[in-house]
Amino acid sequence: MAAGPSALAPYVTSLVAYDSDLGAPGVHRGLPTTSLTLVFPVGEPLDVSWAGQRARAKRWSTVSGLHAGPAEIHHDGTQRGVQLGLTTAGARALLGVPAAELAGELLEVDDVAPELAELPERLHDAGLEAGAAVVVLALTRALARNGEARPRAEVGRALAGLTRGERVGDVAQEVGYSRRRLGTLVKEETGLAPKEYARVARFEASRAVLGRRSLAEVAAECGYADQAHLAREWSELAGCPPSTWLREEFPFLQDHGAADPAG
């Protein structure tokens, strides 16, 4: 995790410069999250598509909005670059577009924010070690151009409640909206309906503890009805059950081990 200016804190959920040796060519699963993803590969372009789609593209930058299915990232055994997670407000503040416009999309940064189009070349010239600082500086300047952007207070509270696993009806009542009005506002902010957003948030929470607990414990802790429900949701959102994902990503990690699989 690279530290950035405090001004970016409301908009950037993670910033990682990565240099991964994956051992052999293969396909990595890009899993759904409640953050938008911004990737600047270094050395080789990112070969990515949504799962099950034939159309693939090699890109020197990738912007992906919120989605409820996996991406497929084809690699030659190594991956290098800088990856960021952005809040939905970060889409407006740093990219200049509403997150809802990017939902379900895989785009290049110059399609979304032309003023950031030079970043891939600048990272290539700077190298991976200094790449994160280059990105932080560019986003700080983008924030100055676009201005701060926060969701309406009640929408922010609603998203927080949905992330905690609260029922949609209860969230609507808490923020003082009808379910229909809440659905409209959440979709305008994220591109996902409230139930779909809550589903992705629950999945994201389960991923964070997967491998540290038994599957039954993960299901109970994260709000699934049972382990079978957890497995079904993972099969739909990740394209595989959680046990398969653990074997793929962490082949030496036991189902109930203590290692951290979220890194």
Contact 154, 177 (CB under 8 A): yes
Confidence at residue 40, expressed as pLDDT on a 0 to 100 scale: 97
Confidence at residue 261, expressed as pLDDT on a 0 to 100 scale: 28
pLDDT band at 126 (very low <50, low <70, confident <90, very high): confident
pLDDT tens column, 144-159: 999 999 889 999 999 9
The CB density around residue 251, as the number of other CB atoms within 10 Å, is: 8
pLDDT band at 23 (very low <50, low <70, confident <90, very high): confident
90 or 22: which carries more pLDDT confidence?
90
What is the homologous superfamily of the domain 153-249 according to CATH?
A: Homeodomain-like (1.10.10.60)
pLDDT tens column, 177-233: 999 999 999 999 999 999 999 999 999 999 999 999 999 999 999 999 999 999 999
Residue spans of the domains in the chain: they are 6-146, 153-249
Measured distance between the N- and C-terminal CA atoms of the chain, rounded to whole angstroms: 10
Confidence at residue 253, expressed as pLDDT on a 0 to 100 scale: 44
d(CA 171, CA 223): 16
Confidence at residue 3, expressed as pLDDT on a 0 to 100 scale: 44
Alpha helix ranges (H) inside the chain: 88-90, 109-112, 119-126, 128-146, 153-163, 168-175, 179-190, 194-209, 215-222, 227-237, 242-249
| Second-level CATH architecture of 6-146 | Sandwich (2.60)
Write down the pTM of the prediction.
0.89
